[in-house]
Amino acid sequence: MRFKRRYRSRNVRDRRFATPARRGLSGFPIGATGGGIGGIIVLLLFLFLSGALGGGDTEAPEAPPPGEDPEAELVSFVSFVFDDAQSTWTDIFEESERNYRPAEMVLFRDATDTACGFASSDVGPFYCPADERVYLDLGFFEELRDRFGAEGDFAQAYVIAHEVAHHVQLLLGINERAQRLSQENPSRSNELSIQQELQADCFAGVWGRSTRERGLLEAGDVQEGLEAAAAVGDDRIQREATGRVNQETWTHGSSQQRRTWFERGFRSGDSDDCDTFGWG
């Protein structure tokens, strides 16, 4: 994927170089075992279908001295994708006479405090609706490649676009509606979580389509995004972890479902085609 080198987003907060005390390493972790956007079974159910816990927000020193950051290019890529995705959604909102309120991204190492509670890198990337921030430990991209077999920069871009999509859902009132339905009928919690995750995949595809139209994609990028979406399906993660698949515990959807909805958004480029809930 083509991007601006040495780009730095004003919406990215860098906590990677904070001391443990400044990271807020106290309290209990939120979420469940497993990593990545596909492995946080309990966490995402909690974050997106429940209320926020509340919690401290400790800002840390920003980037290290120039030339001393081995992840500098990756930070630049993440910053570019994050801003590009939000710029795309700003345009989409304006077309329907809505105002888009930008989210922020927090880069951290190992663990950090959020308005949704304390989180370790084990939970993978996630969006906290209470502070409207995406949280990302860059080490997840190694896990995405080595554990999930999803390689390439557009696989990484898919992860970021998926989390931005959760912010879009918050602004559109989808989070609130799904939460209310879940509270009214707790037996539907997993179903609603899956629908929300698949919609976020579709929204990520809508952004992906815009990058193709603007000439940002390179050969193989689309396939990287499709493989990343499939790699974090509940069935694949469960099979890898336990050797068995239990559909009743899914909260994200199968590999095929995630791939299908990302592809649907990419082919259409229209967020109206991402109604996984059937709300019309």
Contact 264, 225 (CB under 8 A): no
In degrees, to the nearest 5, what angle opens at C-alpha 116 toward C-alphas 25 and 251?
115
User: Mean pLDDT, to the nearest integer, of 223-231?
Assistant: 89
pLDDT bracket for residue 68 (50, 70, 90): confident
Distances (CA, A) of 101 to 134, 164, 170: 14, 11, 10
pLDDT digits (tens, 9 = 90+) for 167-203: 999 999 999 999 999 999 999 999 999 999 999 999 9
Q: What's the CA gap between 202 and 53, in Å, rounded?
A: 28
pLDDT of residue 138: 93
Reported as a pLDDT band with limits 50, 70 and 90, residue 251 is confident
User: Distance between CA 125 and CA 35 in Å, rounded?
Assistant: 8
pTM of the predicted structure, to 2 decimals: 0.84
pLDDT at residue 249, as a whole number: 83
